[in-house]
Structures are given as C-alpha cells and as structure tokens.
Amino acid sequence: MNYQKIITEIYKSVEAEEDQGQVSSYIPELAQVDSKYFGVYLTTTNHTEFGIGSCYQKFSIQSLAKVLSLSLAYKMLGEKIWERLGVEPSGTPFNSLVQLETDKGIPRNPFINAGALVISDILISELKKPLTDFLKFVRETSNNSELNYSERIAASEKSAGFRNIALCNFIKSFGNIKNHPDEVLDFYFHLCSIEMTCEELSKTYLYLANGGHRISDKHQVLNASQTKRVNAIMQTCGFYDESGEFSFKVGLPGKSGIGGGIIAIHPGKFSIAVWSPRLNEKGNSCKGMKFLEQLTTKTKSSIF
C-alpha cells in the first residue's frame, strides 16, 4: 500500500480544516505549546517509514507513557499485576475518582490516571533506581539513548497536579499504593514528562505491532501474549470515555495524551504517531482523531 500518498492527502485535507478544540491548560508548561503543530509518522513492520509535518518536533508524550510503564511492569511481574487493577473500560473521565470509591481503590484499568499511579507504585517497588531504570527501559525499547524526562514539565505538573495528588492519596487510603504518595507522584509526573517526536514515538511503540519485538534487532520487549493483551487494553481503554468512539471510528488499538499525541497500532502491520495540540472535550487530539479516522477508512485497514 502506498502509505506515503494516502498520508499526504489526508494530512493536507485535515490541515486545511478549521481549528477546533483547545490546547490543554491543565499544566502551565503545556499551555504554551504552539497550537499549529501537526505531525504524523508511520513505521511498518516491514521497514517502511514515512513522516510529514511537525514529525521531528519534540513534545510531551504525557499519557502515552502509560503504555510503556504498563509494558515494563507487565514484563517484570506478569499476570500478577492484575491483582491490583483491572482491564475494564471505566465509562468515566480520565481523572475521575468516583469508581475508585465503589471499587475500594482498585482502578478499572492501567490507562486512566488511577491505574497508571498503581503501575507507578509497582515499578517503584520493583526497580532499584526507579527513574533511572525506567528511562533505561524506554531507551532500550526505542533503541534511542537520547530520550529523556523534562524536569521543567515534571515540575510544572507537580505544581498544578492537585487532581493526581488527590487520586494517589485516595488509592493510598484504600491500601492499594504501597510507597509514599509523594514518591509515586514524583515518578508519575516524570514519566508523563518524557519528550519524543512523532518519529520516535512511532518507532518506540512498533513492538506492539510486531509481536512484542523491537523492529531493529528482534530484541523482545514483551512476549506475544502480553503484546496482544496490551493492544486489547488500548482498544477498550486507550481514550478514556471516548474509547468506544475511537474503536468505532478508527478501529485500531491506540492511546492518547493531553500533549496532543496519539499512537495507534495495527497489529502485524504498523505503528503510527499523530500529534496536534488542540484537544476535544474528552482530552483527545481533534486533528489526530480525524486523521486516523480518515486513514483507516481510506486504507480499509482497521482490525475489524
């Protein structure tokens, strides 16, 4: 398939549309990002790759990092992690506390903030030097030793992250956070602060399209079963309370971040990263959603 031609066409069409949505104002640092950025990068499992627009511009990956932290925890502990969180879509916004009260501190899934905090807690318990070791894992997975946290973004989130502080202490009150909430939050804010370009994202997450193997050299990130399961969770839970809509319109497992990035996976075929900072009401990139909807429609490449 001539991805280059199709991507270019759709890119131009979506770029020409009127801007909608708002750049996230949640974190002071994110609010300053130029809303005009729009980048796309696709990498296939058979070594094709193509990028367009702002695809070499770094941005804050935010919640996209939840896929990487889940992968590392899952790799280290296996199915045991599901004793502490579920795999069900929540039907509620990303930062909701309501279900936690009913569910006694067990988050519905690893991609809402509550679940990502529990995964962070697990990694802190398991890793010797949590921040260093997690970054090492990300660099290995991406085969890119340049990737790093943004201390500036992490600090900015810390100063404004009252909802996440609430979530973490709430889960702690149920006993499902083992370390000190401040430590867990510091780890969580750091992993959200990692910066990547669309190209880097597309290549980093390609293992999920490639049976768990890093494309470059067969390095195994996750085994086949774990890979399928991470994809399944992205399918049902990757877009908060818009997960059904994304599944319905795009039909690929994916994950969004409030930095405006989206990563989508076609198992066996490709991984694609899209970035545009303006978000819709549900916290997902407007142009990113549109681009991917048109892509799978025109290429008939959804998994359904």
Closest CA to 268 of 44, 1, 40: 44
Per the CB < 8 A criterion, the answer to whether 140 and 203 are in contact is no
Question: Among 43, 69, 90, 113, which residue interacts with a copy of itself (rule: CB under 8 A)?
Answer: 90
In whole angstroms, give the CA distance from residue 205 to residue 156: 26
Q: Is 87 in the site for a copy of itself (CB under 8 A)?
A: yes
Using CB under 8 A, which residues numbered 222 to 261 contact a copy of itself? 224-225, 227-229, 231-233, 235-237, 241-245, 247-249, 251, 253
- Chain centroid to Cα 236, Å, comes to 13
CB closer to a copy of itself, 4 vs 236: 236
Q: Please give the structure tokens belonging to residue 128.
A: 């010797």
Measured CA to CA, the distance from residue 233 to residue 255 in angstroms comes to 10
Contact (CB, 8 A) for 100 and 177: no
CB of 229 to a copy of itself, least distance (A): 5
Is residue 120 at the binding interface for a copy of itself, with CB under 8 A as the rule?
A: no
Asked if 183 interacts with a copy of itself (CB under 8 A), we say no
**Per-residue contact string for residues 206-225; x = within reach of a copy of itself by CB under 8 A:** ------------------xx
Least Å distance between CB 256 and a copy of itself? Answer: 15
150 contacts a copy of itself (rule: CB under 8 A): no
Q: How far is the CB of 130 from a copy of itself (least distance, A)?
A: 21
Among 47, 132, 162, 217, binds a copy of itself (CB under 8 A): 162
Measured distance CA(270)–CA(106) in Å, rounded = 33
Q: Smaller CB distance to a copy of itself: residue 57 or 302? A: 302
Residue 283 to residue 290: CA distance in whole angstroms: 14
List the Cα angle 183/241/304 in 5-degree steps.
115
- 107 near a copy of itself, rule: CB under 8 A: no
Q: Where are the beta strands (DSSP E) in 225-269?
A: 254-256, 261-266
Contacts of residue 52, Cβ cutoff 8 Å, sequence gap at least 6: 7, 8, 11, 39, 40, 41
Between 69 and 243, CB nearer to a copy of itself: 243
Give the binding site for a copy of itself (CB under 8 A).
86-92, 96-101, 108-109, 162-163, 165-170, 172-173, 181, 224-225, 227-229, 231-233, 235-237, 241-245, 247-249, 251, 253, 267, 297, 300, 302-304
